[in-house]
Amino acid sequence: MLHVAGLTRSFGGVYAVRDVALDVADGETRGVIGPNGAGKSTLFNLISGHLPPERGRVELAGDRIDRLPPHRRAKRGVSIVFQSARIFRHMTVRENVMVGAHLRARSGFPSAVLRLPSHFAAERTIRALAEEALDRVGLLEWADSDAESLPLGQQRAMQVARAVCADPRLLLLDEPASGLRAQERERLARVIEELKSTGVTTMLIEHDVAFVSRLADRVTVMDLGRVIAAGAPDDVRSDPKVITAYLGSEEP
């Protein structure tokens, strides 16, 4: 589903991502871990199009997408949940999630202006999709609430619902469990597991290694902008390079 080769991006002469190469299989859940500043979020922004690469290529299902803007990558099926809560202000929880479903709508601007039956049918479908997604993340009872009034954890769950509503082929989750209580984290884990059962390819950044190990088929480890290890969760956790990256080398 995803092929990344030689992906590189620097800021002020310091490499955030340097010559990163990875392949994610169709339907796989891939964990991405590493210390703070390892380049994980930058990698996701390069894949989603929110940052342009200096060099390298990104392919989705065999098609090159690294030259496409974010909205066109979203149309191709790339959805991202950002580390910081991003909401549309002065809109309800349901309306925030419906924004994601609009990517799937077949009726366009002319039908909305002319108030054609196809527009109203599409709106009903979008509303139903949004409510289904909210139910999956446990937020349906807050559908009519002001999105800004939700606690941070619920705002992040709402973002997951919005991304799911877009029916993604590749879902990028940047620390989605951050700020969630234990019960909310468990619900999120079940949502990710359910998505896997429906064939969605998922990449997950998370500091909770146990959370990643539960969900991921394979784990990619980054440090200082480079991939330093990749493999099954148990193998990665025992890799000496990974242990050094997290804990530092032992002084002689």
Q: How confident is the model at residue 251 (pLDDT cuts 50, 70, 90)?
A: very low
Does the structure show a pLDDT above 80 at 103?
no
The pLDDT value given to residue 188:
85
What pLDDT, on the 0 to 100 scale, is given for residue 89? Answer: 87
What is the predicted pLDDT for the residue at 118?
58
Per-chain mean pLDDT for the chain: 87
Query: Looking at residue 9, what is its pLDDT?
Result: 97
Give me the amino acid identity at 61. A
Residue 4: predicted pLDDT = 98
d(CA 121, CA 123): 5
DSSP state of 140: G
Distance from C-alpha of 154 to C-alpha of 134, rounded to nearest angstrom:
11
**CATH fold of 1-77+169-252, please?**
Rossmann fold (3.40.50)
Sequential DSSP letters for 91-106: SBHHHHHHHHHGGG--
| First vs last C-alpha separation in the chain | 45
Question: What is the spatial distance between Cα 250 and Cα 233, in angstroms, rounded to a whole number?
Answer: 24
How many CA atoms lie within 13 Å of 50's alpha carbon, on the beta-carbon side?
13
Q: Is the pLDDT of residue 96 over 60?
A: yes
- The CATH 3.40.50.300 domain(s) of the chain lie at 1-77+169-252
**Arithmetic mean of pLDDT, 24-53:** 95
| H or E segment to which residue 218 belongs | strand 218-223
Q: Return the exposure string of 237-248: e unless at least 16 CB atoms fall within 10 Å of the residue's CB, then b.
A: bebeebeebeee
pTM comes to 0.86
Our CA dihedral for 225, 227, 233, 235, rounded to 10 degrees, sits at -130
pLDDT at 104: 59
pLDDT tens readout for residues 105-129: 554 444 444 455 555 677 888 899 9
Kindly report the number of other CB atoms within 10 A of residue 135's CB atom.
Answer: 13
Query: How far apart are the C-alpha atoms of 206 and 233, rounded to whole Å?
Result: 13
Coil/strand/helix, residue 133: helix
Q: Which of 61, 1, 23, 50 is nearest to 227 (CA)?
A: 23
Which pLDDT score is estimated for 105? 56
235 has a pLDDT exceeding 50? yes
Helix, strand, coil percentages for the chain (3-state, nearest 5): 45, 25, 30
Mean pLDDT of 170-197: 87
Which of the four pLDDT bands, split at 50, 70 and 90, describes residue 214?
very high
